[in-house]
Structure 1
Amino acid sequence: MSDSATYERVRQNPKFHELVRKRTRLAVTLSVIVLGAYYGFMMIVAFAPDVLRTPLSQGSTLTVGVPVGAAIIVVSWLLTGLYSHFANGAFEELNKDVVREVLE
């Protein structure tokens, strides 16, 4: 079987379309969350910096901005882990099914 015939069989496979649809939906959702958090943080920095300069407690040198920034980083790591969970789980199974069906 030629490469172009194999690629065409993959493109016509319903499980391939399901894989692409699910992977795209998850990637877009996670990207919107991360970008929304990051750009929201940047908008606060630009337009309301006093919010982030506020001390966490009376006499504290630690400001609200530090845990907020750290939370954005941690959320990004967690969302990356979530994507990896799906990529190595359900998406990988769909990928294996597509390869198995195309090569039969």
Structure 2
Amino acid sequence: MDDRDKILTQLAEERWRVSLALTLAMMFIYFGFILLVAFNKSLMGSLIIPGLSWGILLGALVIISAWVLIYLYVRWTNNYYDRKIEDIVKD
């Protein structure tokens, strides 16, 4: 196995770790929300201000957190992963 193969293997492992970490973060957020809906209905139904309950607010935050995690992955890929691949291809 030459150096290029080792670098590609390390890069693939790193991409897998980043993907797994972001997936686990999203699962934690989503299932946390679902568990709150299932087991703490009174909290989720209580109003923060007229017309806005905790359930609606947290549901919106779940969606926003997905966008943020996607943004983080795309930014990491564009700034780190793709540059490393370009460096390998150039060599």
After superposition, the C-alpha distances for 1:44-98 in whole angstroms (9 at most, x for unaligned) are: 11111111101003xx131111111111111110110110011111100111223
Mapping 1:88-103, distance limit 5 Å: 88-101=78-91
RMSD, matched Cα: 1.9
- Which of the pair has more CA radius of gyration? 1
TM-score (norm 1): 0.77
> Which residue number in structure 2 is paired with residue 44 of structure 1?
36
Give the aligned residue type for 1:88: N
In structure 2, C-alpha distance between the alignment counterparts of 1:23 and 1:88, rounded to whole Å: 12
Greater relative CO, 1 or 2 (CA 8 Å, sep 6+): 1
* Structure 2 stretches lacking a partner, 5+ long: none
In structure 2, C-alpha distance between the alignment counterparts of 1:45 and 1:83, rounded to whole Å: 28
* Structure 1 stretches lacking a partner, 5+ long: 1-7
Higher strand share: 2
Match of 1:18 among 10, 19, 22: 10
In structure 2, C-alpha distance between the alignment counterparts of 1:62 and 1:93, rounded to whole Å: 44
Aligned residues: 91
Q: Runs of at least 4 residues of structure 1 off by over 2 A?
A: 97-101
The percentage of aligned residue pairs carrying the same residue is: 24
Mapping 1:4-83, distance limit 5 Å: 13-57=5-49, 60-83=50-73
